[in-house]
Structure 1
């Protein structure tokens, strides 16, 4: 029997904290370790190979800290690295460990929300280029047409604390307009980046009334809860002490200030040297 360890939560930077916040809310009894690779962020514009190697390195660090289950709370990492890690690396590292992503839980349920069967996906350039959302949605709902929109300025706006400024309105309106110009029948938009929940109030201002906006945090939390119920062998190796530990590959002082905004609670992180 493996010794229980915390649930690992990985992101290239801060965005994954919007997911971890919901994980803690839904499953507060578990221990969590968050690792943000801020020193090498953003991942959204990097190549598939670079994202894969960076993600695998960070996952290995979480494994070394005792995590037997890791959630990639990053759409770019989920799109560009998850499959390779699951298929090629886990059998070599430890077949009893698990790495989960954020794209599949979202695509599994999107069909429950759209009536027109036309869905928009907004994400980083890397996530959009991967075609992960159209591919996964078609597996579950082949009748849905997916329209994608890269939003290259949204993450910088959030990371620089400018999401509430009037200047952000231009870029929020611009990308939503570009997406909706492709089809007036889109009735559901997936926010395919974990940074985007901080822009949710502005996004709602520039979409038609009645539009459904799907944010990933609560979706991933519900999915993980279900996963642990269906896999008691994994649930048994997740330690339960309600501890939250934070690591960043960059300076902890700067990370803590920004992270507390995403996590909506004080954060005291430690530095991890890669």
Structure 2
């Protein structure tokens, strides 16, 4: 069935991290309506089994499909790594876009020495999603995957700059970018993928501890560009006039979603604009 351009885009994440994708999408496509679902009652997805993440993802997809969306964005790296095939099988009439493939393409395009570092949750790194996506584009690229679980907590608490996040960033990233042979070693990555939607909030702290000249790839921005291209190809993009509306859904504690989400989105979210849903 042909979808209509006036229908909204649906997005989900395990929590508020996916709002960084929404922010990038809003900057790229300000006229589009969006329905965003944060499954905060069951976060984090990064520590769950693949079977559980897939079940949660399909349930989130069902709630958004029920609201009549034209395209589904999986604004969660863990769910993108695990549940995309299941979502596409469950909802074949709706295009489904994850955040892993766009980030992988941007990283390959940016890297000059074909050495790329990926930081993400433990689950995303363990599943090898970025490794597979990057090697599908360029099998000769050297990839270092490094889990950085504390970044999620720091972003959630708003500790995104200053000594604490920089110290944590250095602890995680010094072994990747400053091996014993020195920062000039040819195996040192020249590109870093932020493989979790929480991590863009920590980009300034990360930038301060990686070598100068390192390209930082934000999967939020690259995903927004992919969504725009897909809507154009499918002739589902809304006309470039007016300002799109956003509806917020959460599975737990609307007040906390509004408070924390405002920080991720960069603009205030009112508690009364957040709808509590039961999946």
One fold, TM greater than 0.5? yes
Separation in 2, partners of 1:113, 1:128 = 20
The answer to whether the aligner puts 1:113 opposite 2:110 as a matched pair is yes
Alignment counterpart, residue 192 of structure 1, candidates 177, 192, 195: 195
Aligned to 1:226: 229
The offset of 1:81, in angstroms, is: 0.8
Q: What SS class does the counterpart of residue 97 from structure 1 fall into?
A: coil
Aligned to 2:79: 77
- Number of equivalent positions: 265
Q: What SS class does the counterpart of residue 44 from structure 1 fall into?
A: helix
Aligned to 2:175: 178
The offset of 1:110, in angstroms, is: 1.7
The offset of 1:135, in angstroms, is: 0.6
The offset of 1:2, in angstroms, is: 4.5
Aligned to 1:5: 7
Change (3 A) 1:158 1:241: closer
TM-score with structure 1 setting the length: 0.91
The answer to whether the aligner puts 1:209 opposite 2:212 as a matched pair is yes
Instruction: Check the 8 A contact 2:46/2:78 in 1, yes or no.
Output: yes
Separation in 2, partners of 1:209, 1:67 = 42
Aligned to 1:17: 19
Aligned to 1:29: 31
The offset of 1:220, in angstroms, is: 1.1
Q: What SS class does the counterpart of residue 122 from structure 1 fall into?
A: strand
String of CA shifts for 1:94-138, please: whole Å, max 9, x gaps: x32122101111112222211110000000001001101111111
Deviates more, 1:32-41 or 1:219-228: 219-228
The offset of 1:181, in angstroms, is: 5.0
Aligned to 1:45: 47
Change (3 A) 1:2 1:204: closer
The answer to whether the aligner puts 1:270 opposite 2:254 as a matched pair is no
The offset of 1:160, in angstroms, is: 1.9
Aligned to 2:182: none
Instruction: Check the 8 A contact 1:14/1:259 in 2, yes or no.
Output: yes
Separation in 1, partners of 2:232, 2:95 = 15
The offset of 1:84, in angstroms, is: 2.2
Q: Unpaired segments of 5 or more residues in structure 1?
A: none
Alignment counterpart, residue 66 of structure 1, candidates 48, 51, 68: 68
Separation in 2, partners of 1:33, 1:25 = 16
Aligned to 2:159: 162
Aligned to 1:137: 134
Change (3 A) 1:46 1:181: farther
Question: 1:117-128 counterparts in 2 under 5 A?
Answer: 117-128=114-125
Q: What SS class does the counterpart of residue 5 from structure 1 fall into?
A: coil
Separation in 1, partners of 2:108, 2:164 = 34
The offset of 1:169, in angstroms, is: 2.6
Instruction: Check the 8 A contact 1:149/1:178 in 2, yes or no.
Output: no
Separation in 2, partners of 1:6, 1:19 = 15
Instruction: Check the 8 A contact 1:148/1:179 in 2, yes or no.
Output: no
